Amino acid sequence: MDEISVEVWESLCVRFEMLEKVGEGGFGQVWRALDRESGKEVAVKVLSPDAAGPDLVQEIESMQTVVSPYVISYRGSEWAGDRIWVAMEWCELGDLASLMNICEVTLTEQEIHDVLVCVLDGLETIHAQGRVHRDIVRGLLL
């Protein structure tokens, strides 16, 4: 992915103290940042111009209405130059797949049960709003 322009970076730094880049891919970059408005750490996704289409706008609108302890909280979004950034709740421990790999463990049946109960509670909230989550993989379970 190409680098974030000075214009976009300056726009981000108005609201966030950008602490460290934690991921990068074809969709854009993910940063751990401090939200100057709330004082909380957040994950800021800076999406590539190709990722910003009508589907993304619809996804952002749906994120704003989901309130559940089992779904990552939306914190804000904004256009900056040719990019859009999306701020989400920061999860210090990261995703389930990475945690399992780092700890070199597999989950017991009870642990799998406990994780699935939380996932299903989150999906129940999303489905109650008439929405469907189409990408449930352990790398997205935070």
Q: Which residues of 80-91 are buried (b: 16+ CB within 10 A; e: fewer)?
A: beebbbbbbebe
Catalytic residue among 55, 95, 121, 135: 135
What is the rounded distance in angstroms from the CA atom of residue 52 to the CA atom of residue 79?
Answer: 10
Range 114-121, long-range pairs (CB < 8 A, 24+ positions) = 115/141, 118/70, 119/70, 121/68, 121/69, 121/70
Is 135 a catalytic site residue? yes
Q: Could you tell me which of 65, 19, 43 has the C-alpha nearest to residue 140?
A: 43
Q: Minimal CA–CA distance to 46: which of 88, 102, 14?
A: 88
Active site residues: 135
